[in-house]
Amino acid sequence: MTADTSGQDRLWLDLVADGGPQADKAVESLFRQYRRPLMGFLIRRGVGADVAEELVQEVFIRMVRGASGFRHQARVSSWLFQIAANLHIDQTRRISLEDTMDDAQWQVIEGTVATQCGTGGQDAAGAEALQECFDRGFSEFAQAHPQRAQALQHAVLHKWSVRDIATFLNRTEGATREFLSQCRKKLREHLAPCRDFLREM
């Protein structure tokens, strides 16, 4: 990325932000410049070509919406790739939640509460009641603390490292470790009623 290109990007984005007669042309110019690099960026991360095309379209929709708030503290290109990265994370999370929500709930719970309490010896009816309690508790937890629930899913389900989660949350690794500890404490609060099922088994 040359200084000349970066300067031209800023001029185009300013035109987009102004919303005047040149705004559409500026969007088209930025789209021509960055469509292929953004497609490649997403495809290298395992996104299919059709979905990548949709995400690139969304990148430019968000660019237009956010152009007036862009303060040129970073290159326009860096901003566009960050939008693409965030969309990829959102898309991955959405697929995970849609396809594996039941497993996600159970595995997160197993990693935070069930293994501590011990679940050996329960009968089938008791196990079903326990899982229903856990599912309900995790659902309430996720609704009240969506970012905390998401972080625990990444840690337990997807085996993300602390470094990966820190990058995702834009926190230091030390702060992320503390955050995950607090996430587990909050989850245990929502799952407290389930301990009664465990005691009965």
User: Domain for residue 150, yes or no?
Assistant: yes
The whole-model pTM stands at: 0.48
Residues in the chain: 201
Cα–Cα distance between 52 and 113 in angstroms, integer?
38
- State how far Cα 34 lies from the chain centre: 23
Q: Does residue 69 sit in the same domain as residue 104?
A: no
- Output the DSSP codes for 77-118: HHHHHHHHHHHHHHHHHHHHHHHHHHHHHHHHHIIIIIHHH-
User: Domain for residue 118, yes or no?
Assistant: yes
Q: Does residue 123 sit in the same domain as residue 46?
A: no
Give the CATH number, domain containing residue 139. Answer: 1.10.10
Helix residue ranges per DSSP H, the chain = 3-18, 23-43, 49-66, 76-109, 115-117, 124-144, 146-156, 162-169, 173-191, 195-200
Task: Name the residue with tokens 């953004």.
Answer: 38
Domain that includes residue 150, residue range:
100-200
Q: What Å distances lie between residue 155 and 2, 25, 151, CA to CA?
A: 39, 44, 6
User: Domain for residue 80, yes or no?
Assistant: no
Q: What is the pLDDT of residues 75-109, one digit of tens each?
A: 899 999 999 998 888 777 655 544 443 444 445 45
User: Domain for residue 170, yes or no?
Assistant: yes
* Residue 41 confidence (pLDDT): 92
Task: Name the residue with tokens 């410049």.
Answer: 33
Cα–Cα distance between 160 and 163 in angstroms, integer?
8
Q: What is the pLDDT of residues 118-146, one digit of tens each?
A: 444 445 566 677 778 888 888 888 888 88
Task: Name the residue with tokens 């905390």.
Answer: 148
Query: Total structural domains in the chain?
Result: 2
Q: Does residue 58 sit in the same domain as residue 137?
A: no
Q: Does residue 51 sit in the same domain as residue 113?
A: no
